[in-house]
Amino acid sequence: MTAPDILAIAARRVCGLPPEWEPRIYRSLDSCGVELIGAKPIGEYTRGPKKGQPKFPPRKDLRSVFLTRDQISQTRQQWEQETGLCSHCGGSGQTIRIASIHGNTYKPCDRCKGAGRMQP
């Protein structure tokens, strides 16, 4: 299982966005928070190198959402309480150590100590 996109989950919860809404652009606002720019996909690519990937509306139709660091950490805690899983590794107990086109190297998650579940 891959780690959840906590920023996307936070944007949906805090801003009341539909479950289909997906961020396309992530921007850090230093210590203030994060800006996410995204939209609900309008379909999928049917051919070419992006075949099967979601297709989004033009940039002018994307919605911008701002999240504070507190909103993100609250969402992370809520998600962990709801699922019982670690939000950093998604419950797999493994995080990427080295990313490579030849294959990723993994290590035990530092947050849950490789258990995949959060300790009460």
**Residue 91 sits in the same domain as residue 70:** no
Q: Is the pTM of this model over 0.75?
A: yes
**Residue 28 sits in the same domain as residue 65:** yes
Whole-number Å distance between alpha carbons of 111 and 87 = 9
Q: Is residue 1 in some structural domain?
A: no
Return all residues near 78 (Cβ < 8 A) that are at least 6 apart: 13
Using one digit for the tens of pLDDT, what is the confidence trace for 38-96? Answer: 999 999 999 999 999 999 999 999 999 999 999 999 999 999 999 999 988 888 888 88
Domain count, the chain: 2
Q: Is residue 23 in some structural domain?
A: yes
Domain holding 55, by residue range, is 6-83
